[in-house]
């Protein structure tokens, strides 16, 4: 099995981490040391690091610093959490990128089957493709969200790299990608034909400026997401001690922590990755950023409500809004205050979603005869 290719966290670091205060995250972490997979049964989340950046479009600025992130993360204090985390260690660079990818995909598939959420640190962002492909045979339709300054559609006819993996997903069989959403793209970095293609495929995108004005718009999107991939290069250059980092407009460190927390809180999200760590100069501030993003993801996971979202659930209030030739059906949770909207399923395909996460503003817009754009796109995709 592929687990034999894992490089466990070195024993000295394990001992150091285990010596941390029992009020820190170290109290919830165990380390993989070659055990049988059956021992994973009580595990909720697994951390795995990929030591391969050969398909990155960025120049490497540092060696991988996963152990420094581990030391920082596991020494962070937590509240009254109940977590069971397994650190699987690292996947070393294979002879070919395909070898590294094969190991990652097989491991992720096994984790998905056991309902263990993987937290992946990379390495070039094209490994998101294998993070997605590992759902084959596990989940029929997958929603992907990326936090990135570009769409990463690229040229699917050329060999895949860290900025063309989305294009590869679109054409690669089996066609399991139901929705792709980009959070934080910057128009001057995005060719018009890519923006047009996103519209043609009924995918979603929120410009960085739109998110900055109303960041809560990311929450319903992440609530509908199975897989989140973050390109750490999208962080604003002034936030990081790296004078050669050219992304002068980007996410703040606070923004990235909020996205991570929203992702953790999503009852649906089952895979989380942060990529391109080697593309930034290693610094204390960057190590703290990665560690805090992971901490906020774990905090969000600890806050999950696992709501049984259904029109028939007595904990939900149903609202019917007549608009044009439609009656939009909204439901609101009395427990969390979160909103969903019903999507017509033209082909009665049980694998396609029947409810779309939304927010109160979508309901208010509907009462003013404004049909939510996300609903229109989801309705079309459900009909084909």
The model's pLDDT over 83-111, given as tens digits with 9 standing for 90+, comes to: 999 999 999 999 999 999 999 999 999 99
DSSP H/E element including 121: strand 117-121
Residues 37-43 have a mean pLDDT of 79
* DSSP string across 268-331: S--EEEEE-GGGS---HHHHHHHHHHHHHHHHHHHT-------TT-TTEEEEEEEETTEEEEEE
> What domains does the chain contain, in order, with CATH numbers?
2-302 (3.40.800.10), 316-383 (no CATH)
Taking the C-alpha atoms of residue 270 and residue 143, their distance in angstroms, rounded to an integer, is 11
Best CA proximity match to 227, nearest among 117, 309, 313: 117
**Structure confidence by residue, pLDDT tens digits, 298-344:** 999 999 999 999 888 999 999 999 998 889 999 999 999 999 999 98
DSSP state of 94: -
pLDDT at site 349? 60
Phi, psi of 235 (to 5 degrees): -70, 145
Taking the C-alpha atoms of residue 107 and residue 2, their distance in angstroms, rounded to an integer, is 6
Q: Are 345 and 382 in contact (CB under 8 A)?
A: yes
Best CA proximity match to 264, nearest among 288, 232, 230, 236: 230
Q: Are 19 and 29 in contact (CB under 8 A)?
A: no
Burial 86-114 (b: 16+ CB within 10 A, else e): bbbbbbebbeebeebbebbbbbbbbbbee
Residues 271-293 have a mean pLDDT of 96
Taking the C-alpha atoms of residue 234 and residue 186, their distance in angstroms, rounded to an integer, is 10
For residue 130, what are its two tokens? 């294998």
Task: Give yes or no for a cis peptide into 174 (omega within 30° of 0).
Answer: yes
DSSP H/E element including 87: strand 85-91
CA 242 to chain centre: 25
DSSP H/E element including 184: strand 177-185
Where do the H-state alpha helices sit in the chain? 11-18, 66-74, 97-113, 127-133, 165-171, 192-200, 208-213, 218-223, 253-265, 284-302, 360-367, 373-383
> Could you tell me the pLDDT band of residue 157, with boundaries at 50, 70 and 90?
confident
**Structure confidence by residue, pLDDT tens digits, 61-82:** 999 999 999 999 999 999 899 9
For the chain, give the percent of residues with pLDDT over 90: 86
DSSP H/E element including 356: strand 355-358
Max Cα distance, the chain (Å): 66
- Specify the 3-state DSSP secondary structure of 246: coil
For residue 260, what are its two tokens? 């991570």
Q: Which residues pair with 341 in a beta bridge?
A: 330, 356
Taking the C-alpha atoms of residue 301 and residue 100, their distance in angstroms, rounded to an integer, is 28
Q: Are 44 and 116 in contact (CB under 8 A)?
A: yes
Place of tokens 């460190």: 253
pLDDT at site 353? 74
Taking the C-alpha atoms of residue 285 and residue 232, their distance in angstroms, rounded to an integer, is 13
Weakest-pLDDT range from 153-157, 222-226, 279-283, 296-300? 153-157
DSSP state of 206: E
Residue 142 has pLDDT above 60, yes or no: yes
> Could you tell me the pLDDT band of residue 268, with boundaries at 50, 70 and 90?
very high
Taking the C-alpha atoms of residue 38 and residue 115, their distance in angstroms, rounded to an integer, is 13
């Amino acid at each position: 099995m592929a687990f034999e290719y894992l490089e466990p966290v070195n024993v000295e670091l394990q001992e150091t981490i285990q010596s941390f205060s029992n009020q820190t995250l170290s109290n919830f972490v165990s380390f993989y040391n070659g055990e049988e997979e059956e021992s994973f049964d009580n595990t909720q989340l697994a951390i795995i690091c990929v030591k391969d950046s050969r398909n990155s479009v960025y120049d490497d600025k540092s060696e991988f610093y996963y152990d420094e992130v581990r030391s920082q993360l596991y020494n962070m204090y937590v509240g009254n959490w109940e977590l069971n985390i397994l650190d699987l260690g690292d996947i070393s660079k294979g002879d070919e990128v395909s070898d590294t990818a094969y190991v990652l995909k097989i491991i992720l598939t096994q984790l998905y089957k056991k309902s263990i959420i993987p937290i992946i640190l990379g390495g070039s962002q094209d490994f998101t493709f294998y993070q997605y492909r590992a759902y084959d045979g596990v989940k029929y339709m997958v929603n992907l969200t990326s936090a990135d300054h570009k769409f990463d559609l690229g040229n699917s006819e050329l060999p895949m790299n860290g900025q063309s993996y989305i294009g590869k997903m679109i054409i690669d069989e089996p066609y399991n990608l139901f929705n792709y959403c980009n959070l934080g793209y910057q128009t001057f970095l995005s060719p018009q034909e890519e923006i047009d293609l996103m519209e043609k495929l009924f995918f979603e995108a929120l410009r960085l400026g739109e998110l900055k004005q109303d960041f809560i718009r990311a929450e319903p999107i992440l609530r509908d997401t199975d897989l989140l991939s973050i390109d750490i290069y999208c962080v604003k250059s002034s936030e990081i001690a790296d004078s050669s980092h050219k992304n002068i407009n980007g996410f703040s460190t606070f923004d990235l922590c909020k996205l991570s927390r929203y992702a953790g809180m999503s009852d649906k999200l089952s895979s989380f990755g942060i990529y391109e760590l080697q593309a930034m100069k290693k610094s204390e501030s960057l190590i703290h950023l990665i560690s805090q993003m992971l901490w906020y993801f774990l905090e969000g996971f600890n806050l999950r409500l696992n709501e049984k979202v259904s029109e028939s659930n007595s904990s939900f209030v149903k609202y019917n809004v007549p608009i044009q030739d439609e009656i939009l059906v909204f439901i609101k949770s009395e427990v969390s205050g979160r909103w969903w909207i019903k999507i017509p399923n033209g082909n009665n395909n049980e694998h396609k979603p029947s409810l779309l996460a939304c927010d109160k503003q979508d309901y208010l817009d509907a009462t003013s005869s404004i049909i939510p754009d996300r609903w229109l796109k989801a309705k079309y995709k459900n009909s084909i």
